Structure 1
């Protein structure tokens, strides 16, 4: 059961018009591709994808599992949106409520075990190792655990384990964390007990795995922790998302997509066939960057990731940035530490990412590390300068006559 209905609120405008798992990652991928590929590469054949928030682009991308070879008579990916209009609920109220509303889907296949995973993390895992550990321990539930920096630990569910790997303490997002062993949001349960406990929890008004379901399992003292030591990132904030993308360009980061066998759906709505090869002009200069097909590069690109169809004109410099599909940057512009959504037009002699790093005034907890985010379909007029930690809303039209200099920390 793949949880893919979350709102990417901390990703601000990147998650406003799409589900968080559908956000572009690494040029040609979507965030959900990592979990889908883990499932497929682990030979798990039945997948229920629980969608909710703005699911259309995600559903089109999944294409019933075909890009991951999860289709046919014995391999199934089924999209499970909320059952709107029924007495039960018009929306999923939480993670366990989403599974509770789809217990019928689980029972249809009579599995021994149920794997519950999130669709918004970047990692590579063979779930068969988790399944073997679960069976070896004769566990009723097993939670995947990873060590995180103690300064970030308050963002996670935290655990303590004994010498036999049994979880003896569980705290959900404590303000003053005492341990750095965090839940990855990957669980495996014995099916019959999961059905029983999720039903009981739902009848009491519980809706969340971490807050409501896991404590009930823990009381039975047969919940174990599976220690994971590989690469894993929760990309739920703009800074975490930017850094995980940059890990694709950093040596020894641990993020090696070519070794992980990550698959994606390269088809896009309104397109027929493949994009052409990328064109590199005589004046282009490329350093430590990832550039997808269909781009036209005539300027300088360094330490950046470009999705298909991006055009970088002459005398333009792009550095430390992530640029989504079909964005056009005109001559003489300088783009630094920026995330630019799809179909943005940046006219000539624009400068983005200059000035002091003042936290965003409207969203100080979202943007404070110098990253500026430009929304989908925006147009930035010529000779405009935009500072650090700025947000330019989707479809915004910035005219140099009305506003030439946009100070750091501004939202427009």
Structure 2
């Protein structure tokens, strides 16, 4: 493909509360066996983009461990490959990334040393499938300076969480409001952009000279009337996991047959790092309904409408309903959990009860496992 990829995965998101205290948003577990960044990486690989840079910053340990081998997404190649860039202190620069544009600026050599004419920029915390060849063809046909992929939200969805765009009949963006108080349109930016590589370098350098560091407000919003910026509609599934409720609902969506079929049974595939865990084990008293159970789990109790990630142990007479249990959690006997997200590597003592009565409850217990 005639493009290189950049995945922005360095943001520090406080809206997911305790869930991002020890991991980047892009490393959030999804659908039992995946991480959020797997979807953007797979889309890049499936679109034949052979050279991808991931820009990371906050809580990068688990994300870097996940990306320690590029072979899982077919980037283990002589030409191109997967590059992970974190902020680097130099004689000329002592800053962390001060924004998305600054993150690109601090790694501008990656763009300057590349030869592909176009750049596809994507976010690492979005769940979707997309053929970037189609948006590139659209970008070229429109003779656009920048193309922004957008999603039309339903009436029950909150557009004020995102950048809201307005377009004319030709799909040219005439207004762009970043997280407005009141949304005047249901069309929101998905954080996916296509731009010519040389033009991106010029815009980023110009923004840095003026002390401007955010790609959306200092490039898209600032140049909306000066550059030819067009919108490209995404019709398939798309979800941003930037809040606790959105993260919970995204995982719950994978309990729907049509969503699972779309991501896991229809070409192209979503790839992820594979763990050498044994298959899930269901003991005689196990009772599981409409749930995703990952490898390494041992089930002794009742699980309903829930997503259990790798190496979860469910004790005798446990009841888990409408909940997400993250990796390596031990649930003791006689526990009742409903409408909760249980943080990874936690131990929930026997005979305890956790219920999210006014929304989704995040459970973060760090009891010593062998002291039960």
| Deviation (angstroms), 1:118 | 0.5
C-alpha separation in 1, matches of 2:279 and 2:166? 51
| Deviation (angstroms), 1:158 | 1.2
Moved more, 83-92 or 249-258: 249-258
Matches within 5 A, 1:47-58: 47-58=52-63
| Deviation (angstroms), 1:340 | 0.9
Structure 1 counterpart of 2:326, from 324, 328, 349: 324
Structure 2 counterpart of 1:111, from 104, 112, 116: 116
Alignment of 1:262 onto 2:270 = yes
Structure 2 counterpart of 1:292, from 291, 294, 299: 294
Aligned to 1:42: 47
Contact 2:152–2:186 at 8 Å: present in 1 too? yes
Alignment of 1:304 onto 2:292 = no
Contact 1:231–1:254 at 8 Å: present in 2 too? no
Aligned to 2:3: none
Distance 1:211 1:16, change over 3 A: same
Alignment of 1:248 onto 2:254 = yes
Alignment of 1:32 onto 2:31 = no
C-alpha separation in 2, matches of 1:244 and 1:128? 26
| Deviation (angstroms), 1:253 | 4.6
Q: CA RMSD in A?
A: 1.9
User: How many pairs were matched up?
Assistant: 363
SS at match of 2:92: coil
For structure 2, the residue ranges without an aligned partner over 5 or more in a row are 1-5
Moved more, 92-101 or 66-75: 66-75
For structure 1, the residue ranges without an aligned partner over 5 or more in a row are 268-273, 358-368, 382-396, 400-412
| Deviation (angstroms), 1:96 | 0.7
Aligned to 1:178: 184
Distance 1:129 1:18, change over 3 A: same
| Deviation (angstroms), 1:179 | 1.0
SS at match of 2:113: helix
Distance 1:228 1:243, change over 3 A: same
SS at match of 2:45: helix
| Deviation (angstroms), 1:191 | 1.3
Aligned to 1:378: 366
C-alpha separation in 2, matches of 1:289 and 1:212? 44
Distance 1:233 1:86, change over 3 A: farther
C-alpha separation in 2, matches of 1:304 and 1:41? 30
C-alpha separation in 2, matches of 1:113 and 1:352? 50
Matches within 5 A, 1:4-15: 4-15=9-20
